[in-house]
Chain A
Amino acid sequence: MASLFQQSMPSTGPGYSFASAPTHHSSSGPRQHAFYPYTDNGGSTLGISGATFTILAGDTRSTSGYNINSRYAPKLFRIGGDGPENEGARIVLSVVGFAADGNALKERLDTMVKMYRYQHGKEISVHACAQRLSHILYGKRFFPYYVTAILGGLDDEGKGALYSYDPVGSYEREQCRAAGAASSLIMPFLDNQVNLKNQYDPASGEGLEKVMRVPEPLPQETVEQLVRDAFTSAVERHIEVGDGLQMMIITKEGVQETFTPLKKD
Chain B
Amino acid sequence: MVGKDCVAIACDLRLGLQALTVSNNFPKIFSYGSQVHLGLTGLATDVSSVSELFRYKVNMYRLREERDISPQTFANLVSSSLYERRFGPWFVSPVVAGINQTDGKPFICGFDSIGCIDFAKDFIVSGTASDQLFGTCEGLWEPNLGPEDLFETISQALLNAVDRDALSGWGAHVYIIEKDKVTKRLLKGRQD
**Cross-chain contact of A184 among B135, B138, B139 (Cβ < 8 A):** B135
B139 touches A230 (CB 8 A): yes
A199 to B140, CA, bound (A): 14
Give every chain A residue within 8 A of B161 (Cβ-Cβ): 188
**Cross-chain contact of A185 among B131, B140, B159, B163 (Cβ < 8 A):** B131
Q: Mostly helix, strand, loop or mixed at chain B's interface?
A: helix
A234 to B137, CA, bound (A): 11
B156 touches A187 (CB 8 A): no
Give every chain B residue within 8 A of A192 (Cβ-Cβ): 136, 140, 156, 160
At the interface, yes or no: B86 with Cβ under 8 Å from chain A?
A: no
A182 touches B163 (CB 8 A): no
A192 to B141, CA, bound (A): 13
A182 to B164, CA, bound (A): 13
A233 touches B139 (CB 8 A): yes
At the interface, yes or no: B101 with Cβ under 8 Å from chain A?
A: no
Count, chain A residues at interface, CB 8 A: 19
CB distance from B185 to the nearest CB of A (A): 13
At the interface, yes or no: A236 with Cβ under 8 Å from chain B?
A: yes
Which residue of chain B has its CB nearest to the CB of A230?
B139
A95 to B54, CA, bound (A): 49
Give every chain A residue within 8 A of B163 (Cβ-Cβ): 188, 191, 197-198
At the interface, yes or no: B134 with Cβ under 8 Å from chain A?
A: yes
At the interface, yes or no: A116 with Cβ under 8 Å from chain B?
A: no
**Cross-chain contact of A197 among B138, B155, B160 (Cβ < 8 A):** B160
A198-B163, A230-B139, A233-B139 in contact; A185/B134 too (CB < 8 A)? yes
A104 to B140, CA, bound (A): 37
Which residue of chain A has its CB nearest to the CB of B159?
A198
A229-B139, A230-B139, A237-B138 in contact; A185/B132 too (CB < 8 A)? yes
B139 touches A187 (CB 8 A): no
Give every chain A residue within 8 A of B140 (Cβ-Cβ): 189, 192
CB distance from B86 to the nearest CB of A (A): 24
B159 touches A182 (CB 8 A): no
Which residue of chain B has its CB nearest to the CB of A234?
B135
At the interface, yes or no: A48 with Cβ under 8 Å from chain B?
A: no
**Residues of A167-211 contacting chain B, CB below 8 A:** 182, 184-189, 191-193, 197-199
CB distance from B118 to the nearest CB of A (A): 13
Give every chain B residue within 8 A of A184 (Cβ-Cβ): 131-132, 135, 164
Contact flags (1/0) for B129-173 with A, using CB distance below 8 Å?
001101110111000000000000001100111011000000000
A interface residues, Cβ below 8 angstroms from B:
182, 184-189, 191-193, 197-199, 229-230, 233-234, 236-237
Pairs A-B, 4 closest by C-beta atoms:
A185-B135, A233-B138, A184-B131, A189-B139
